[in-house]
């Protein structure tokens, strides 16, 4: 349902939120290594997040990226919108361009429900909630220290 760009953006934003600090940036190199995302590709993705005012980018010896707002104020839907757009929540599940309520594909109504549930999940889940799940052991994905 989501592009690789969107998946990488979600992973990188979660990593940055996990290591969130108002006075410390996280280097692109570290995010790319720890999340196993190609550095050049990640650079473009994070710049997209800067343009959406989700991240701040700094150059120089203490440069890198940090959240532009507190993690509880950034919802996953903003990251999806900044990469894939919100059309992913209205597109046909099997790719027909003219699929709609008047001319539905065979899975239209079932997929429409699922899309709505996923959209709701992304609208109501903040980076802070995800970070808390990782810290509380509710997530199977652990996020290493940025210095390891």
Q: Is residue 144 in a domain? A: no
Position 29 scores a pLDDT of 95
In this prediction, residue 132 carries a pLDDT of: 94
State the total domains in the chain.
1
Residue 27 has a CB neighbour count (10 Å cut-off) of 13
pLDDT in tens, 87-137: 999 999 999 999 999 999 999 999 999 999 999 999 999 999 999 999 888
118 lies in a domain?
Answer: yes
Predicted confidence band of residue 144 (pLDDT cuts 50, 70, 90): low
Residue numbers of the domain that contains 59? 4-135
Examine residue 143 and state whether it is found in any structural domain, yes or no.
no
Confirm whether 142 is domain-assigned: no
**Residue 93's domain is classified under what CATH number?**
1.10.10.10
Report yes or no on 107 lying in a domain: yes
**Separation between Cα atoms, residue 97 and residue 83, nearest integer Å:** 20
In which band, very low, low, confident or very high, does the pLDDT at 146 lie, cut at 50, 70 and 90? very low
Contact present, 139 and 14 (Cβ < 8 Å)? no
pLDDT of 142:
58
Domain assignment present for residue 147? The answer is no
In a domain, 140, yes or no: no
Instruction: Calculate what percentage of the chain has a pLDDT beyond 70.
Output: 94
What is the structure's pLDDT at 147? 42
Q: What is the pLDDT of residues 19-73, one digit of tens each?
A: 998 888 999 999 999 999 999 999 999 999 999 999 999 998 888 999 999 999 9
């Amino acid at each position: 349902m989501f592009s690789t760009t969107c998946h990488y953006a979600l992973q990188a934003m979660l990593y940055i939120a996990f290591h969130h600090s108002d006075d410390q940036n996280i280097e692109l190199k570290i995010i790319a290594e720890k999340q196993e995302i190609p550095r050049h590709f990640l650079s473009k993705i994070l710049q997209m997040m800067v343009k959406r005012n989700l991240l701040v980018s700094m150059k120089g010896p203490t440069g890198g990226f940090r959240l532009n707002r507190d993690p509880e104020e950034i919802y996953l839907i903003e990251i999806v919108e900044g990469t894939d757009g919100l059309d992913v929540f209205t597109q046909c599940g099997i790719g027909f361009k003219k699929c709609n309520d008047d001319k539905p594909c065979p899975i239209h109504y079932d997929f429409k429900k699922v899309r709505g549930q996923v959209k709701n999940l992304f609208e109501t889940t903040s980076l802070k909630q995800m970070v808390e799940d990782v810290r509380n052991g509710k997530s199977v994905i652990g996020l290493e220290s940025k210095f390891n």
